[in-house]
Structure 1
């Protein structure tokens, strides 16, 4: 007969071994060398640089909204900020940003621009990350009794009653997210150094 302690030990060991394995989700890598923003890239291959910029944004799981090659600009959709319970999302850099994303609704978007450098041998890549907080106008007027009829009042025939919030949620700008910008530039620098 197998003892319950042995079964519990094997189960715990297998769970810990599963948690220690590598993730199948591709996330941004940490680079030990911080890079300046804007980043000067010494390359003549504009297509290669463009693909590395797109790959970097995909590493951070930002959905691309628009790629404009003539303006040399990539814009992303808004992405809801990661919380403490979502370590696989790389958009919240550092514990303070993750805690903030846990306690407050946060969203971010990134705009990456690429301009020819002053020397003809390269490009200047600028990364700008915008951060916004959700600003609710007040408590939503959702009560359980809103759909019930009172026997003491005459029946109201208004068929256009509002259910839920009367106005859409607003977002307040929190400025730029410099930590995310540095992380994206560092990841781009890492991808370009692997050539």
Structure 2
């Protein structure tokens, strides 16, 4: 016999609404608890705007299979992807006052590195064979052009993990 309810589940627990309501009377304490959750996921904060209710993190390189202590790559599929390809993530936490507490929303952005003309052979980064001969007395060491990043959209697994941690931090 199977029971189905209103709560959907993923591999790590019940789905949490985004944004999630947290009960808090003290705005400073609520803000600091939310910042603690950001630090739990080892993100560095790039910008905090308490008036605007936004916490923005710096980009963080995705954790590989060899880095189980980094919680930003949620699930084995994300870990394998970060192991085999350069991935980075950035989080935005939106903090909105609500009656009796706050609505806290998490937006996690995931990007994949785009390596144009990747040099997968010896000397490929220094001597490109697909361009005209150029006389350069300062040879390039490494990649000749700067890397770009391809937006992969939002990372719902990381968002859900952070929201569940926020819920636990506020005792809900």
**TM-score bin, normalised by smaller chain:** 0.7 to 0.9
- The aligned counterpart of 2:48 is 67
Which structure has more strand as a fraction of its residues?
2
- The aligned counterpart of 1:138 is 117
- Structure 1 unaligned segments of length 5 or more: list them: 1-30, 148-155
Kindly report which structure 2 residues correspond to 1:169-180, keeping only aligned pairs within 5 A, or say none: 169-180=147-158
| Aligned equivalents of 1:38, 1:95: Cα separation in 2 | 25
- The aligned counterpart of 1:38 is 19
Q: CA deviation at 1:165?
A: 2.1
- The aligned counterpart of 1:129 is 108
- The aligned counterpart of 2:87 is 106
Which one of 69, 77, 82 corresponds to residue 63 of structure 2?
Answer: 82
Q: Number of matched residues?
A: 153
* Conservation of the 8 A alpha-carbon contact between 1:142 and 1:163: no
| Aligned equivalents of 2:63, 2:143: Cα separation in 1 | 25
The Cα RMSD (Å) is 2.3
Taking structure 1 as the reference length, the TM-score comes to 0.71
Q: CA deviation at 1:129?
A: 0.2
| Aligned equivalents of 1:157, 1:101: Cα separation in 2 | 38
1:188 aligns with 2:166: yes
- Structure 2 unaligned segments of length 5 or more: list them: 1-11, 128-133
| Aligned equivalents of 1:157, 1:170: Cα separation in 2 | 26
Which has more radius of gyration? 1
* Conservation of the 8 A alpha-carbon contact between 2:48 and 2:55: yes
